[in-house]
């Protein structure tokens, strides 16, 4: 049975997630949902399991407990074919870009198109080039291999690939880590622009306070093994928790905040 | 697929007034819908002659970047000149998408394949690479000896710990397989000799055949080829992966010499392992020959076998076999390490280098063995 995606349903919802490695509990009773059309920033200390959470949400790691719903569907209950279809609605940018190193940038972007559609190859190529343009890469990068790209370009190319199928939900794992401030700013703008154009729901894992201030509609805080609060930034900053206070009260945060306000 | 189960197929209408065409679209224009109309739309647009496009997309139920790209076709196709376009009816979101699509600049098309030209180019490239590879390998061997002699002057700089660990991996762990293979080879030669020689009634000469061939040629070369396949590929993969993860760069920056840390221990481990393995292989091959002679229907008892072996096969056959092993060891270790260090960023290059490494090592082992055979023959040994 084909999967009917109801675009008005809640894109992603996780309830009571329990993840553990052996006896080491990473997440316990974690509840989280993505509001439609919003960019949610996920913050948390190093080692609190942000990337693990992303992998769990993506189905790369089975949680030990709890359930995850996409557009109202429980991933567990879907058939393999339906899961395959659901995956076309989800785009992921991994930390290093995770481009296939034996393919050119254009071929990388064409991989999901080849896999999920039956368009003529020429049209796929053109669509790939359009995505390359949309993420702000120069046209000549289409025929380059990932090893010829800089870190920032790899991230852009990875983003272009994650957008290839016009997904509803986009997961970004540290998109601005390792970029210079100019590149990071440009990336923030890019994400805002794409959200505008493609009506995306975005989960953005980041340590970059500037990105949080400029890009995110809401901020989720992963602390004490669960999501403590998901709210607009001022409310999160006012949240009474030692770690949150330390995180947003530090000198870096204040600098980013004042820069964001001006 | 998912979204077109209840959505309308894309429809469009082109009307021209003066130099302006109006592009009126309705239905669902998404990645999953546009495939069928791609060709026809392009052809229709090419037939028209116009300067500007007006889009009326108010009735479009669903639009994504692929659909917007199809709209932008109208701006793109029109005989290469700059065109004006405008969305006269449609939402802001749709406008943004069409804007993004119209702005997109296409990259170069992939290189067309020219069969003759490409095969000639490939041949040229391959021959060039062969020469460069040979020169680089020889240079690498030279560099290795310089570093080795420097280290021998100060033996404390040699990393004995990793030499011992690698010797276990290359030598000890390979011993069972080397002995098994040499056993089979020895048995095969013994059978072959027994069969051929018994027709002349001279089956006792099979002892000579087994003794000379196993000691002089087979045990050394089988061992070397096996280690070339087994350890040489491991060297390339290990060092290549280190290179890809910038561990080699980190070593260089920390002031560690990659030759000292990676290459010399591997070469020394090979130098220690290969003669021992070859010796084990020789014993195993001879033992197989003895078993076949005894139990294989020839009735040559072990006592007779060894008496004959002592009598006809001189000790020098053993030493000729052993003399080749250090050369093989150096070749295998250095080719493996050099190919590993030549790995670049991509996964492809790791695969290609590992293949090259094994092929080169086996080739070099056999070539060097042939040179030795020629040399010993000319010297009358």
Asked if B149 and B100 sit in the same domain, the reply is: no
Domain that holds residue B268: 145-379
How confident is the model at residue A260, as a pLDDT?
Answer: 61
Q: Min CA distance, B89 vs chain A (Å)?
A: 17
* CA-based nearest residue in chain A for residue B34: A119
Average confidence (pLDDT) per 10 residues, chain B, 381 residues: 57 83 84 82 80 83 82 69 73 78 74 82 91 89 90 87 92 94 93 86 85 92 94 93 87 84 92 95 93 84 89 88 94 93 84 92 94 90 75
So where are chain A's domains?
Answer: 12-261
In a domain, B313, yes or no: yes
CATH topology of domain A12-261: Rossmann fold (3.40.50)
Residues of chain B in contact with residue A106, where contact means CB-CB under 8 angstroms, are 107, 110
Asked if B193 and B275 sit in the same domain, the reply is: yes
The backbone region for A49, taken as left when phi is positive above 0, alpha when psi lies in -120 to 50, beta otherwise, is left
The CA distance from A125 to A129, in Å, is 6
Which of B105, B122, B157 is the last residue in one of the domains? Answer: B105
User: Which residues contact residue B294 at a Cβ distance below 8 angstroms, ignoring those fewer than 6 apart?
Assistant: B300, B301, B302, B305
How confident is the model at residue B332, as a pLDDT?
Answer: 94
Length of chain A: 262
DSSP annotation of A149? S
In a domain, B342, yes or no: yes
In a domain, B126, yes or no: no
Asked if B216 and B341 sit in the same domain, the reply is: yes
| Token pair of A43 as six digits | 């913050």
Asked if B252 and B352 sit in the same domain, the reply is: yes
Asked if B282 and B366 sit in the same domain, the reply is: yes
Out of B96, B108, B344, whose CB is closest to A143? B108
* Chain B residues within 8 angstroms (CB to CB) of chain A: 1-3, 5-6, 30-32, 34-35, 38-39, 64-66, 69, 93, 96-97, 100-101, 103-111, 344-348
How many other CB atoms are found less than 10 A from the CB of residue B212?
19
In a domain, B136, yes or no: no
For chain A, positions 205-244, list CB contacts with chain B under 8 A.
none
Q: B100 vs A132: CB contact, 8 Å cut-off?
A: no
Q: A4 vs B97: CB contact, 8 Å cut-off?
A: no
Q: A147 vs B345: CB contact, 8 Å cut-off?
A: yes
* CA-based nearest residue in chain B for residue A3: B2
In a domain, B23, yes or no: yes
The reported pTM is 0.69
Asked if B151 and B99 sit in the same domain, the reply is: no
User: Which residues contact residue B21 at a Cβ distance below 8 angstroms, ignoring those fewer than 6 apart?
Assistant: B14, B15, B48, B50, B52, B53, B54, B74
Out of B6, B38, B104, whose CB is closest to A134? B104
3-state secondary structure of A69: strand
Out of A119, A123, A132, whose CB is closest to B107? A132
User: Which residues contact residue A5 at a Cβ distance below 8 angstroms, ignoring those fewer than 6 apart?
Assistant: A71, A86, A89, A168, B2, B3
Which of B89, B105, B121 is the last residue in one of the domains? Answer: B105
How confident is the model at residue B81, as a pLDDT?
Answer: 55
Asked if B49 and B152 sit in the same domain, the reply is: no
Which CATH number covers residue B21?
3.30.750.24
Asked if B81 and B178 sit in the same domain, the reply is: no
**Geometric angle at alpha carbon B344, from B339 and B345, rounded to 5°:** 145
Optimal mutation site among B75, B107, B344, interface A, most CBs of chain A within 10 A: B107
In a domain, B137, yes or no: no
Instruction: Give the ipTM.
Output: 0.73
B190 and B210 in contact (C-beta within 8 Å)? yes
- Name which residue leads in pLDDT, A113 or A8: A113
Count of structural domains, chain B = 2
Residues of chain B in contact with residue A132, where contact means CB-CB under 8 angstroms, are 107
For A108-167, the pLDDT digits (tens) are: 999 888 888 888 888 888 889 888 888 888 888 888 888 888 888 888 899 889 888 888
Residues of chain B in contact with residue A91, where contact means CB-CB under 8 angstroms, are none
For A24-41, the pLDDT digits (tens) are: 888 888 888 888 888 999
């Amino acid at each position: 049975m084909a999967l009917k995606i109801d675009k008005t349903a809640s894109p992603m919802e996780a309830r009571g997630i329990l993840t553990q490695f052996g006896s080491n509990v990473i997440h316990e009773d974690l509840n989280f949902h993505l509001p439609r059309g919003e960019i949610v920033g996920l913050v948390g200390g190093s080692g609190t399991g942000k990337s693990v959470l992303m992998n769990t949400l993506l189905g790369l790691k089975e949680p030990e407990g709890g359930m995850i719903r996409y557009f109202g569907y429980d991933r567990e209950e879907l058939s393999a074919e339906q899961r395959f279809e659901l995956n076309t609605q989800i785009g992921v940018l991994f930390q290093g870009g995770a481009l296939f190193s034996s393919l050119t940038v254009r071929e990388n972007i064409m991989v999901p198109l080849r896999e999920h559609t039956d368009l003529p190859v020429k049209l796929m190529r053109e669509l790939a080039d359009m995505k390359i343009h949309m993420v702000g890469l120069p046209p000549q990068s289409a025929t380059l291999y990932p090893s010829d790209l800089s870190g920032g370009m790899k991230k852009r190319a990875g983003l272009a690939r994650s957008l290839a199928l016009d997904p509803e939900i986009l997961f970004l794992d540290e998109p601005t880590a390792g970029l210079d401030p100019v590149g990071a700013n440009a990336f923030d703008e890019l994400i805002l622009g794409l959200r505008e154009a493609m009506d995306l729901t975005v989960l953005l894992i980041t340590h970059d306070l500037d990105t949080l201030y400029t890009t995110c509609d809401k901020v989720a805080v992963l602390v004490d093994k669960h999501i403590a609060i998901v709210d607009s930034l001022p409310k999160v900053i006012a949240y009474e928790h030692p770690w949150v206070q330390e995180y947003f009260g530090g000198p870096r945060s204040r600098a980013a905040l004042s820069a964001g306000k001006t | 697929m998912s979204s077109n189960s209840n959505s309308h197929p894309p429809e469009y209408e082109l009307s021209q007034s003066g130099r302006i065409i109006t592009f009126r679209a309705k239905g669902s224009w998404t990645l999953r819908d546009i495939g069928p109309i791609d060709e026809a739309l392009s052809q229709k647009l090419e037939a028209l002659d116009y300067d500007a496009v007006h889009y009326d997309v108010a009735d479009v139920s669903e639009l994504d970047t692929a659909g917007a790209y199809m709209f932008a076709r109208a701006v793109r196709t029109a005989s290469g000149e700059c065109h004006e376009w405008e969305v006269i009816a449609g939402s802001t979101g749709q406008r943004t998408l069409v804007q993004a699509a119209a702005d997109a600049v296409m990259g170069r098309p992939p290189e067309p394949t020219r069969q003759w030209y490409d095969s000639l180019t490939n041949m040229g490239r391959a021959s060039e690479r062969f020469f460069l590879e040979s020169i680089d390998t020889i240079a690498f061997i030279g560099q290795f000896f310089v570093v080795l002699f420097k280290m021998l002057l100060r033996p404390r700089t040699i990393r004995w710990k990793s030499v011992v660990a690698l010797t276990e991996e290359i030598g000890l762990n390979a011993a069972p397989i080397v002995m098994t293979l040499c056993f089979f080879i020895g048995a095969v030669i013994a059978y072959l000799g027994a069969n051929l020689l018994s027709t002349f009634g001279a089956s006792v000469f099979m002892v000579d055949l087994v003794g000379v061939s196993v000691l002089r040629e087979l045990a050394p070369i089988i061992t070397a080829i096996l280690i070339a396949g087994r350890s040489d590929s491991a060297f390339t993969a290990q060092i290549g992966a280190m290179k890809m993860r910038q561990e080699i760069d980190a070593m260089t920056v920390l002031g560690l010499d990659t030759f000292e840390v990676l290459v010399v221990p591997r070469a020394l481990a090979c130098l220690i392992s290969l003669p021992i393995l070859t010796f084990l292989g020789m014993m195993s091959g001879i033992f197989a020959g003895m078993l076949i002679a005894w139990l294989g229907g020839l009735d040559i008892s072990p006592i007779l076998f060894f008496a004959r072996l002592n009598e006809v096969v001189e000790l020098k056959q053993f030493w000729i076999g052993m003399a080749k092993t250090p050369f093989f060891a150096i070749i295998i270790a250095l080719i493996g390490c050099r190919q590993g260090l030549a790995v670049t960023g991509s996964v492809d290059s790791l695969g290609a280098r590992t293949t090259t490494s094994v092929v080169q090592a086996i080739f070099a082992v056999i070539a060097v063995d042939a040179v030795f055979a020629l040399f010993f023959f000319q010297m009358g040994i």
